[in-house]
Structure formats: structure tokens, C-alpha cells
Amino acid sequence: MERVLDTAALLHWPVERLAGGVCALSQQQELRNLNESRSLLIETVALDWRTVPPEWRSLATEQASQTGDLPRLSDVDVDVLALALGLQANLVTDDYRLQNTYKHAGGTVEPVANKLSKAVWMWELRCTGCRDVADVPADVKRSKDQPAGECSRCGSPMLVKRRRG
């Protein structure tokens, strides 16, 4: 079975272990930004670099929206998820948001260095003012540390929180 490699694997695994893995083209720039010398080394490895088809990217966005993980995934994360979903491959990642979304979709996850997440969580948007809750829409504002939007009732910031119950 094919393996889609997250950037963590590209950064931390021995190059011999990476051979034959599938990666998104968008990971190349991310890798250069994080570790230029490692990026040069990775260029010598027989990896399958792929452009993500738009329909796979839409599927990944929808899946991440369903679990509520979308606001905390980067564009590169969405590309990696899209490849794993489209190819129905093993996803190699330490990113718990990617693990959560892919496991929810029925996929198989392999860790890079950390332990696998134990449970699949669902996330929602919760208002910091009136405490209103909402599902995470597919067009949500994405940021690792910023509010995911504004409350439609009171205008306060909406944060991503684990769904209760």
C-alpha cells in the first residue's frame, strides 16, 4: 500500500525509509523554509511528488470540516490529507489534526516519532462571548492560533473547541 508522507517524516526519517513515499508538491517549499540542507538531501530520494487534484482537495477540506479540524490545518496539511484520501494510502504523520481527520474518514495512520492519537475527536466553533456553538464550515478562516471567525449572534470571536458529549 502506498504511503503519503507528511513533512515531519521528510524532516526526521532516514532517507532510506522515505524512498517510494508520496508527497505533495507544496511540501517542497515548506521543507525549504524549515530546513534548506535537509531539503537538498531530500531531492536525492526517489519520492513520488504529486500535484493535488482539485476534487481531492475539496474532499479533504470537507472531511476536515466535518471533524472540525479544518481551522487548524495549513494549506500543505490539506494537500497531504487530500493525497492520502484520494489514493486511499497510509498517512504518515505526527500531526494530531491530520490523524484525527484521516482516521475519521476510515484511513490508516502511521506515526513518524510520536505516539498515535488514541481517539477521534469532533470539534466545533464556540463563541467566547455568548457561548453559542456552530459546526465548522468548509470556508472557515484557517490559522494555527487566531479565532476561526466571529459569532453571528454577538460578534465575539469563535474559537475551535472539542465538542461536548
**pLDDT in tens for each of the 165 residues of the chain?**
899 999 999 999 999 999 999 999 999 999 999 999 999 999 999 999 999 999 999 999 999 999 999 999 999 999 999 999 999 999 999 999 999 999 999 999 999 998 888 888 999 999 999 999 999 888 888 887 889 989 999 999 999 999 875
* Coil vs helix vs strand at 109: strand
Domain boundaries, the chain: 3-110, 123-162
- CATH number listed for the domain at residues 3-110: 3.40.50.1010
Note the pLDDT of residue 96. Answer: 93
Sign of CA pseudo-dihedral 136, 139, 145, 146: negative
Show the beta-strand stretches assigned E in the chain. Answer: 3-5, 22-24, 48-50, 90-92, 109-110, 123-127, 133-134, 149-150, 157-162
| Confidence at residue 165, expressed as pLDDT on a 0 to 100 scale | 59
Sorted by sequence, the CB contacts under 8 Å of residue 27 that are 6+ apart come out as: 7, 10, 76, 79, 80
The C-alpha atoms of residue 103 and residue 91 are separated, in whole angstroms, by 10
pLDDT of residue 118: 83
CA 91 to CA 6: how far, in whole Å?
8
Report pLDDT for 12.
Answer: 95
Show the cell assigned to 54.
482539485
Residue 115: the pLDDT is 86
The structure's pTM equals: 0.86
